[in-house]
């Protein structure tokens, strides 16, 4: 028997939604789907605020549908699991939304290689259309239901509020370090920008044993980069003498800046076969 929408989505939920391009958030009552056999339901305790959320609620990229409940860096405590869930139990501390994905076909080559974000049927955490035709709502809410495939576990010694940004900012920096062979001791890694992405990148690269240089237009960021986040050196990109002295010394540079800026000076900093990776979402 075909289920009614009320039967498919019986779980009452509360969140904060934007209803137009002003981006103002207001209370919003909606419903989540029933917990399926392979689903995990959890109480949302914290959700990071990503710049993508701010762009989305104002529909700056022209791809969103209102009302929007943003938030893709959500963490909390499991309250229910489906009958076929194997790795998660009630009470577990979990997160969801790594890469902003909450669904895919689970059958294509990309999905079979754990690259759901490239799946043609990929479903975003919010303002996307789920397989049953309903709109997805994100983590600025009190509860979430997701396939276990998109659930990650947090160790007991990691604060959930501090861990939430790892599900976007963390992955954004961790992935290129690993994929492009920069997560190795002795590699010289440059991080352009010391914002939400940049400071996480510095800490990851240092944990991997790399030599880390922060590259910034702002000399005032030097003490923060070196003393607070542990960078090995600091390069002022507006200082031509510093840039000239550093030419050809970097194995890789991860550029986190979203504003329009010249990349030729960064390319000059690379060794032969060095890599420049751009991760800043464009304005």
Are residues 116 and 79 part of one domain?
Answer: yes
Instruction: Give the CB-side neighbour count of residue 149, counting CA atoms within 13 A.
Output: 19
Q: Is the pLDDT of residue 146 over 80?
A: yes
Residue that wins the pLDDT comparison between 272 and 132: 272
pLDDT at 133: 87
Q: Tell me how crowded residue 162 is: count the other CB atoms within 10 A of its CB.
A: 11
pLDDT at 207: 97
Residue 283 lies in a domain: no
Are residues 48 and 61 part of one domain?
Answer: yes
Are residues 185 and 122 part of one domain?
Answer: no
The residue out of 167, 201, 222 marking a domain boundary is 167
What is the total count of domains within the chain?
A: 2
Are residues 267 and 174 part of one domain?
Answer: yes
For residues 265-277, give the mean pLDDT: 98
The residue out of 167, 184, 200 marking a domain boundary is 167
Are residues 65 and 109 part of one domain?
Answer: yes
71: domain range? 5-167
Are residues 174 and 143 part of one domain?
Answer: no
Q: What is the mean pLDDT of the chain?
A: 94
What SS3 class is residue 19?
A: coil
Residue 282: pLDDT band with limits 50, 70, 90: confident
Reported pTM = 0.88
Residue 142 lies in a domain: yes
Are residues 137 and 233 part of one domain?
Answer: no
pLDDT tens, 176-230? 999 999 999 999 999 999 999 999 999 999 999 999 999 999 999 999 999 999 9
For residues 16-37, give the mean pLDDT: 96
Q: How many residues does the chain have?
A: 283
Residue 167: pLDDT band with limits 50, 70, 90: very high
pLDDT tens, 36-93? 999 999 999 999 999 899 999 999 989 889 999 999 999 999 999 999 999 999 999 9
Residue 38 lies in a domain: yes
**2: Cα separation from own chain's centroid:** 36
**237: Cα separation from own chain's centroid:** 27
Residue 244: pLDDT band with limits 50, 70, 90: very high
Are residues 207 and 83 part of one domain?
Answer: no
Residue 179 lies in a domain: yes
For residues 108-117, give the mean pLDDT: 93
CATH number at residue 112: 3.90.180.10
Q: Is the pLDDT of residue 1 over 60?
A: no
Are residues 34 and 161 part of one domain?
Answer: yes
Are residues 191 and 157 part of one domain?
Answer: no
Residue 266 lies in a domain: yes
Asked if 218 contacts 230 with a C-beta cutoff of 8 angstroms, the reply is no
Residue 141 DSSP symbol: B
Asked if 58 contacts 127 with a C-beta cutoff of 8 angstroms, the reply is no
pLDDT at 2: 46
Are residues 198 and 148 part of one domain?
Answer: no
């Amino acid at each position: 028997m075909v289920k009614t929408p009320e039967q498919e989505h019986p779980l009452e939920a509360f969140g904060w939604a934007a209803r137009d391009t002003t981006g103002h958030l207001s209370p919003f009552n909606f419903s989540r789907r029933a917990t399926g056999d392979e689903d995990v339901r959890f109480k949302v305790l914290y959700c990071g605020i990503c710049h993508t959320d701010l762009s989305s609620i104002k529909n700056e990229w022209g791809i969103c549908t209102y009302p929007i409940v943003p938030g893709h860096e959500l963490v909390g405590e499991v309250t229910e699991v489906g009958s076929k869930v194997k790795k998660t139990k009630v009470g577990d501390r979990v997160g969801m939304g790594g890469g902003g994905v909450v669904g895919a076909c689970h059958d294509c080559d990309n999905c079979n290689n754990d690259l759901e974000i490239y799946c043609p049927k990929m479903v975003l955490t919010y303002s996307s259309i789920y397989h049953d035709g309903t709109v997805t709502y994100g983590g600025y809410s009190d509860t979430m239901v997701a396939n276990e495939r998109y659930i990650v576990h947090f160790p007991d010694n990691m604060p959930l509020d501090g861990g939430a940004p790892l599900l976007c900012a963390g992955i954004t920096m961790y992935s290129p370090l690993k994929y492009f062979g920069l997560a190795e001791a002795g590699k010289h890694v440059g991080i352009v920008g010391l914002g939400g992405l940049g400071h996480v990148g510095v800490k990851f690269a240092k944990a991997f044993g790399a030599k880390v240089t922060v590259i910034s237009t702002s000399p005032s960021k030097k003490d923060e980069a070196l003393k607070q986040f542990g960078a090995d050196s600091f390069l002022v990109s507006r200082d031509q003498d510093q840039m000239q002295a550093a030419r050809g010394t970097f194995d890789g540079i991860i550029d986190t800046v979203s504003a329009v800026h010249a990349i030729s000076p960064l390319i000059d900093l690379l060794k032969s076969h060095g890599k420049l990776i751009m991760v800043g979402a464009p304005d």
